[in-house]
Homo-oligomer: A and B are copies of this chain.
Amino acid sequence: MFFEGSEKKFELSVNSEVSSLRQLPKSFWAECVALSQAQIISQVSSKECDAYLLSESSLFVWKDRVTMITCGTTNLCQAAMFLLNHFGVDKVGSFFYERKNEYFPRHQTSDFFDDIQCLQKILPGQAYRLGEANEHHLYLFHLDRPYEAPQTDRTIELLMYGLSGQAKELFTKENCQPEQIRKFLNLDKIFKDFLFDDFVFSPVGYSCNAVKGSDYYTIHVTPQDVGPYVSFEANIKNLDSQYIVESIVNIFKPKSFDVIQFDSQDVKDVNFEGFRKINAVEDQLGGYNVLFKSYYEPKVNYQKAEKLEI
Contacts and interface: CB of A to CB of B under 8 A. Distances in A.
B128 A307 contact: yes
B134 A227 contact: yes
B277 A304 contact: no
Interface string A189-230: 000000000000000000000000000000000000011010
Nearest to A303: B281
Interface string A92-131: 0000000001011110100101001100100000111110
A116 B283 CA distance: 42
A172 to B, nearest CB: 16
A252 B99 CA distance: 31
A134 B161 contact: yes
A255 B127 CA distance: 24
A309 B282 CA distance: 20
A279 B305 contact: no
B300 A279 contact: yes
Interface in A9-54: none
A250 to B, nearest CB: 21
A228 to B, nearest CB: 9
B129 A306 contact: yes
A75 to B, nearest CB: 14
A72 interface: no
A99 to B, nearest CB: 12
A266 interface: no
Nearest to A255: B132
B132 A162 contact: yes
A266 to B, nearest CB: 14
Q: Which of A120, A130, A292, A306 has the most CB of B within 10 A?
A: A306
Contact of A278 (B104, B136, B296): B296
Contacts of A229: 134
Nearest to A134: B161
A308 interface: yes
Interface string A281-310: 111010000101000101011111111111
Nearest to A309: B127
B103 A306 contact: no
Given A256-B135, A278-B296, A300-B277, A127 B283 contact: no
A133 interface: yes
A141 B278 CA distance: 31
24 contacts: A103-B133, A103-B134, A106-B108, A113-B308, A117-B310, A120-B310, A127-B307, A127-B308, A128-B305, A128-B307, A132-B161, A133-B226, A134-B256, A139-B308, A276-B276, A276-B298, A278-B278, A278-B300, A280-B302, A281-B302, A281-B303, A281-B305, A282-B302, A282-B303
Given A126-B307, A134-B161, 13 more contacts: A103-B133, A105-B106, A113-B308, A127-B307, A128-B305, A132-B162, A133-B226, A134-B227, A276-B276, A277-B300, A278-B278, A282-B302, A285-B305
